[in-house]
Amino acid sequence: MNVSEFVVKVANPYFALCDGFSYLTKDFLMSSIEFAVKNKIFPLFYEGCLRLGIKLPKEADLLMDSYERRRRMQIEEVGLLLDVSEELGVELMFFKTFKPFRYFPDDVDVLLRDENDLQPLIAKLRDKGYFMLKIGTPEVVLRKIGEDGAYVDLDIHKRLAVGYLDLFQAENLWQKQAYEKFRLEDGRVAVKLSENYEVVREAAYSLLKDFNLSIPGLYLAIYTLMKGDLETIEKIAINENLLLPLNLYLRTAYYISCKLFNSEANLRHQFNEQSIFMMPLRIIRSQLAKKCKIPYPYPIPVIALAYLSKAQLEISRNRNLKALTQIIKQPSSKGVEIFLHHLARLGS
Profile the chain (348 residues) by mean pLDDT over runs of 10 residues.
91 81 84 96 95 91 93 92 94 92 91 93 95 88 88 92 83 86 83 95 94 96 92 93 94 91 69 69 89 90 88 76 57 49 46
The answer to whether 179 touches 93, Cβ cutoff 8 Å, is: yes
202 and 250 fall within a common domain: yes
Whether residue 204 sits in one domain with residue 184: no
pLDDT at 18 (0 to 100): 67
Task: Note whether 176 and 164 are same-domain residues.
Answer: yes
Q: Are residues 211 and 316 in the same domain?
A: yes
200 and 188 assigned to the same domain: no
| Among candidate residues 158, 173, 193, the one where a domain is terminated | 193
Co-location of 218 and 236 in the same domain: yes
b (16+ CB within 10 A) / e for 115-141: eebbeebeebbeeeebeeeeeebbbbb
pLDDT on residue 86: 93
Q: What range does the domain containing 30 cover? A: 1-56
**Same domain (yes/no): 235, 321:** yes
Cβ atoms 161, 167 nearer than 8 A: yes
Q: What is the dihedral of CA 190, 136, 339, 251, to 10 degrees?
A: 10
Looking at residue 336, its pLDDT comes to 52
CATH number at residue 121: 3.30.460.40
Q: Do 132 and 257 sit in the same domain of this protein?
A: no
Task: Answer with the one of 150, 178, 193 that is the final residue of a domain.
Answer: 193
Same domain, 200 and 342: yes
Q: Which amino acid is at 244?
A: L
Q: In the prediction, which pLDDT does 279 show? A: 85
Radius of gyration of the chain (CA): 21
Q: Looking at the structure, tell me whether residues 182 and 248 fall in a common domain.
A: no
Q: What's the confidence (pLDDT) of residue 347?
A: 43
Number of domains in the chain: 3
My answer on whether 219 and 79 are in the same domain is no
- pTM of the shown model: 0.88
Based on the domain organization, do 202 and 177 belong to the same domain? no
Question: What pLDDT, on the 0 to 100 scale, is given for residue 268?
Answer: 67
> Are 35 and 7 spatial neighbours (Cβ–Cβ below 8 Å)?
yes
